[in-house]
Amino acid sequence: MTTLPTALITGASSGIGATYAERFARRGHDLVLVARDEARLNTLAARLREDFGVAVDVLPADLTQLSDLATLETRLGYDEKIGILINNAGMAQSGGFLQQTAEGIDALIALNTTALTRLAAAVAPRFVRSGSGAIVNIGSVVGFAPEFGMSIYGATKAFVLFLSQGLHLELSSKGVYVQAVLPAATRTEIWERAGIDVNTLPEVMEVGELVDAALAGFDRRELVTIPPLHVAERWDALEGARHGLLADIRQAHAAERYRTA
């Protein structure tokens, strides 16, 4: 009988992360759950063990703290059972750019980009050696929508998309699957933590629907899964335009429009 890989999920105490945990437990995967709130993790872990008979480890960690991040990197590097990394932990931006503090900027970038990248880097070499494994990075449609006004948050999510695309190019031929999941507004606690009333938003997806759609993309081995995008050809057109732009970049000389007499 084939043993299913263990899934390590960050930001697993609530919202998207907790729902991923429930869905993977339902599929029969053992779990490693990571978040700051140990009490909530233990409550979730006990329920999943009881309901689905899977093994669940709890790792309390604040991924903006380098010591906690290093502990998790070590676990990812040596634990051969872990075959799926769900890079879900993240925080939203409250207020515009002028309202940000140095400490808030550091925390936002540390969690949304630095931690995500370091965890992927910690597990990727082992996945490559085994010729298998999956890295799922939770981004956002805000990453290509500066019009939404969350400049720093959006920039971190643009980073997540770019990183995922780059990792796909580097790792897919070595047997490692990389998926970027780009939600829009989803009903989770991230809004409350950012001081935003989710009920004031015009359209919000329920978290179960979001994760189920993301897992449908996971099963199909999509590189980029955008659950709220109803016309898939829009993404194809955007990618086609990007490739066309790259084809028209000829770096030996500046474009004619920039040359002066």
Q: Which residues are catalytic?
A: 153
List the one residue out of 93, 144, 87 whose CA is nearest residue 117. Answer: 87
Region of 120 please: left (phi>0), alpha (psi -120 to 50) or beta.
alpha
List the one residue out of 16, 53, 15, 14 whose CA is nearest residue 31. Answer: 53
- CA dihedral sign, ordered 59, 60, 64, 67: negative
Question: Within 13 Å, how many C-alpha atoms sit on residue 248's CB side?
Answer: 8
Pairing verdict, β 177-181 and 56-60: unpaired
Task: Please say whether the beta carbons of 222 and 179 come within 8 A.
Answer: yes
Start-to-end CA span in the chain (Å): 74
Identify the bridge partners of residue 34 per DSSP, sorted by sequence position.
10, 59
DSSP 59: E
Give the Cα separation of 14 and 29 in Å (integer): 18
Which segments within the chain are labelled E, that is strand? 6-10, 31-35, 56-60, 82-87, 134-138, 177-181, 224-225
